[in-house]
Structure 1
Amino acid sequence: MSIADQQAALDAVHDDPADLPVMRARFEHNGSPRYMLYAIKRLGLDREHGFHLDVRLVSDELEGGMETVEARLQDGDADLIDIDYISTARERSEGAAIVAIHPYGRTVGGLVALDDTDIEGLTDLPDHRIGVVRRLDKNWILTRAACREYHGFDPDVEATPVEAGSKVGLTELLYDGEVDAILQFWPIVPEITERGPYREVLPMAELVQRLSGTDDRLPISTFLTSESFLAEHPETVRRFRGAYRDVVDRLVAEDDLWEEIGETLMTYDDPAVVRAVRDGWRDMVVRDWNTETIEGMERLFDHLLEVAGADALGVDHVPEGTFRPEVEP
């Protein structure tokens, strides 16, 4: 489904902001947060919590080496985006005034290949071409870290990563046979595997939990805003957090809501795919966080840094003030 078609569906549930404070949300057209954003607007949860969420979808291509949504936030054209916290740390260490204000979830992907592939796990990656959105993508970093930690090799050296530049381009690499496998974002995996002849060899969430050394579900992606928006509109940020918690509760409990989301925002009409995306979202999402959650995220970062190195991560530390579990008054 095109960006225009999905935006039209969102526009249909947009209301007049009137005198409510506005938060400009800019998210990728093929990312899973759009399901949550649509549900907030469809159910009127932003208005219920006393603010207006203005949702606009953008492409997932890179702008100046950054994801489009990240560029929007840093350019001052957005108040709310989501990216993985490694990218947040990387950009913040380079001077970007961005902060993580709430968790989203384990937004990693899966290693996908043809049904009859000879790739059965990480140890089979050497001498194969592996498609990635970019080499600094969290899925590739996790793969490199796990291979180095548990199997004694670096796939960045012994395999050939092929950068696609976007999630759409990544799927095309697989379909065109230009790579042996891809590390695709999780909501797109069911569309590929349910319609075959492909299978998910390994979900990256397994690597997250194994490398973190904890059973707690750790968010990889968080919601971000700018330092200036947080300072000037702390109450709006609080209200968003409340709306988010409410919509998570609804999306976890209500199957009918997912049927509507499938009809409105998904590019396929196969109920099996919609159910797979629904179940994957429920397994991925993180409703809230606390000090222990953030400590676990920092431990995972330290482990990835130790195993993969600063060159792979693009940063050697999580800068102070990156995570804001409580909105400042």
Structure 2
Amino acid sequence: MRFLKLFVTSFALMCATLVQADDLPKLRVAVLKIGTVNWELDTIKRLGLDKSNGFELVVQGYAGGDASRVAFQGGEADVVVADWIWTARQRASGKGFATFPYSTAVGGLVVPKDSAVQTLTDLAGTKVGIAGGPLDKSWLILRAYAQQEYGMDLKAATEQVFGAPPLIFKTGLKGELGGAINFWHFLAKMKSAGMRQIISVSDAATALGLDPATPLLGYVMKDSFVAEHPELAKGLYLASSGAKEVLGSDDAAWEAIRERMNAKNDTQFTTLRDDWRAGIPAAGPVDEEAAGAMLAVMAKLGGDKLVGEANTLPEGVFLNFE
């Protein structure tokens, strides 16, 4: 198996050297400058998976997710990485955006390692730190879970502290919060530092009858771009799949991106790697019925501020290159 992986990698690199970058169309991807999607994109470029699939990948880093989406909508980028609920909202409003899966990775709720908290009910009267704001999807799913399982209004029973992921990370580690909900990679670091997860968003989603395998994040393109450049759209899909195959099974491939991961120690590095791997989507088309069920929960709890006019799943949200 390892020989096969080395052969595939060598073949991709050989193909890349046979094609000059100037001869290939450039594919511009707008991403959060410090986002974890860069781990995959770096791997694509390092292994020449872009060139072997007929394009040159150009990664455009932005300081925030909003800035990357503005660049995409304004035509400064061909692709953006965003959650599909945003894509559905845009499509429902008349914008022809579509997506294919990047990751199913979601977080959970962690508490200090010496905390007496065992379930969400024990958080009553405490401060809960939440990255992503009041409409954070992990927060909404955990609220729905608390209501169903315990008859608990988690929002009313706790004091919410909203902040940027690094702030929630720091205050959580200092023990200043009863519990914390953060983006998955910050949670990985919090767990590696000793904080204890009492429930994952995946487990909460399952209890709600949702499918946790529904990928949340994806590569988003405009319908017009896909129609005009179908080979580029599929090329990115194949390059992404190839990078996931390598990163999903070859530990050595992670050494090349270790500096990018900003892991402070071996424990953080291993936790980040393993949690990223756990978020690799299953092959094949997205289950649209499952996605529709998740959207219904988001619409109920987040309302128009989150989903806009997308109360049901618009047709054509998901691209399928299988």
TM category, shorter: 0.7 to 0.9
Quick one: structure 1 residues 44 and 177, their matched pair in 2 at CA, closer, same or farther if it must change by over 3 Å? same
Q: How many residues align?
A: 301
| Pair 1:142 & 2:141 matched | yes
Distance 1:74 1:33 in 2: 19
CA shift digits 1:292-314 (9 cap, x unpaired): x22222222234445x3635744
Residue 111 (1) aligns with residue 109 (2)? yes
Query: Cα distance, 1:135 vs. partner?
Result: 1.2
Match of 2:62 in 1: 58
Return the index of the structure with the highest Cα Rg: 2
1:81 is the counterpart of 2:70: no
Distance 1:255 1:111 in 2: 28
Give 3-state SS (helix, strand or coil) of 1:153's partner.
coil
SS in 2 for 1:83: strand
In structure 2, distance between residues paired with 1:253 and 1:309: 37
How big is the shift at 1:324? 2.3
Q: CA–CA distance in 1 between the matches of 2:70 and 2:117?
A: 36
* Residues 313 and 270 (structure 1), Cα distance of their counterparts in 2 relative to 1, 3 Å cut: same
Aligned to 1:153: 152
Aligned equivalent of 1:168, options 166, 169, 183: 166
Answer whether contact 1:88 1:98 (CA < 8 A) is retained: yes
1:290 Cα deviation after fit:
1.7
Aligned with 1:209 (options 192, 206, 219):
206
- The 3 A distance-change label for structure 1 pair 314 and 28 is same
Q: 1:223 to 1:212 in 2, by over 3 A?
A: farther
Structure 1 SS opposite 2:21: coil
Structure 1 position 233, deviation (Å): 1.8
- SS for the counterpart of 2:208 is helix
When residues 19 and 105 of structure 1 are mapped into structure 2, their CA distance, relative to the original with a 3 A threshold, is same
Moved more, 293-302 or 270-279: 293-302
Matches within 5 A, 1:40-51: 40-51=44-55
Q: Kindly provide the CA deviation profile for residues 78-97 of structure 1, in whole angstroms up to 9, marking residues without a partner as x.
A: 22222222222233334444
Find the aligned partners of 1:73 and 1:125 in 2 and give their Cα distance. 40
**Structure 1 position 310 matched with structure 2 position 309:** no
The alignment yields a C-alpha RMSD, in angstroms, of 2.5
> Could you tell me how far 1:287 is from its partner in structure 2?
4.6
Contact 2:137 2:298 survives alignment (8 Å) = no
Which residue is equivalent to 1:325? 320
**CA shift digits 1:94-136 (9 cap, x unpaired):** 4444221x11221211212211223322223332222222111
Q: Are residue 271 (structure 1) and residue 272 (structure 2) matched?
A: no
C-alpha distance in 1 between matches for 2:275 and 2:148:
27
Query: Does the 8 A contact of 2:123 with 2:179 survive in 1?
Result: no
SS in 2 for 1:18: helix
User: 2: distance between equivalents of 1:69 and 1:119?
Assistant: 38
Instruction: Write the distance in 1 (CA, Å) between the matches of 2:226 and 2:181.
Output: 34
Is the 1:24–1:54 contact (alpha carbons within 8 Å) kept by the matching residues of 2? yes
**8 Å contact from structure 2 (residues 110, 181) kept in 1:** yes
- Find the residue that maps to 2:283 and give its secondary structure: coil
Structure 2 residue corresponding to 1:300, chosen from 282, 294, 305? 294
Which residues of structure 1 form unaligned runs of 5+? 1-14, 62-66
Contact 1:248 1:287 in 2 (8 A): no
Alpha-carbon distance in 2 for matches of 1:74, 1:241 = 20
Report the CA distance shift for 1:16/1:205 in structure 2 as closer, same or farther (over 3 A): farther
- Deviation string 1:130-188 (CA, Å, 9 cap, x unpaired) is 22221111111111221222222332232222221x32233234346553322111122
Q: Structure 1 CA distance, aligned partners of 2:51 and 2:303?
A: 43
Identity rate, percent: 28
Give ranges in structure 2 of 5+ residues lacking alignment.
Answer: 1-18
Find the aligned partners of 2:169 and 2:30 in 1 and give their Cα distance.
23
Q: In the alignment, what sits opposite 1:7?
A: none
Identify if the C-alpha distance between structure 1 residues 323 and 30 changes in structure 2 by more than 3 Å, giving closer, same or farther. Answer: same
Mapping of residues 188-227 of structure 1, within 5 Å: 188-196=186-194, 198-214=195-211, 217-227=213-223
